[in-house]
């Protein structure tokens, strides 16, 4: 994996405390898919503005006595699994997330998010 690539989330999410869940913006009260903590942590950091190398550096600094020896491999494995399921997209350049992906659903204006998402989907077709 090219760790100089940038990574960004591709799914709308909810945040409750430290719990990250994937949600359906058209039915935000429906059952949420809660992400395991490693996946949730990486997912919420997937803002399109940072490379995988920067992520590894950031997470490494969270361990005062030094990161575990397999930290880089663990992060890469999580990102690979998330890219396979299209939760995260990799790119060679930094990107700005669309409004509806920029923050947890609790901080979004849902009507604005739905409209912008529909416009983006219409532009793809």
Domains and CATH numbers, the chain: 6-124 (3.90.930)
With a cut of 70, say whether residue 106 has pLDDT above it: yes
Query: Which one-letter DSSP state was computed for residue 63?
Result: -
Specify whether the CB–CB gap between 113 and 99 falls below 8 A: yes
| Cβ atoms within 10 Å of 37's Cβ, excluding its own | 11
| Predicted local distance difference test score (pLDDT) of residue 125 | 67
Average pLDDT, whole number, for the chain? 91
User: Over the stretch 8-65, which tens digit does the pLDDT of each residue have?
Assistant: 999 999 998 989 999 877 776 777 889 998 899 899 999 999 999 999 999 999 888 8
């Amino acid at each position: 994996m090219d760790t100089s690539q940038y990574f960004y989330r591709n799914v709308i999410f909810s945040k409750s405390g430290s719990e990250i869940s994937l949600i359906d913006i058209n039915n935000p009260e429906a059952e949420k898919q809660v992400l395991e903590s490693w996946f949730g942590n990486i997912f919420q950091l997937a803002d399109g503005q940072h490379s995988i190398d920067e992520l590894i550096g950031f997470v490494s600094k969270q361990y005062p006595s030094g990161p575990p020896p397999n930290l880089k491999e663990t992060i890469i494995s999580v990102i690979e699994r998330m890219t396979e399921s299209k939760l995260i997209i990799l790119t060679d350049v930094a990107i700005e997330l669309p409004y509806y992906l920029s923050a947890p659903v609790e901080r979004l204006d849902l009507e604005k998010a739905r409209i912008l998402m529909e416009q983006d989907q219409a532009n793809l077709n």
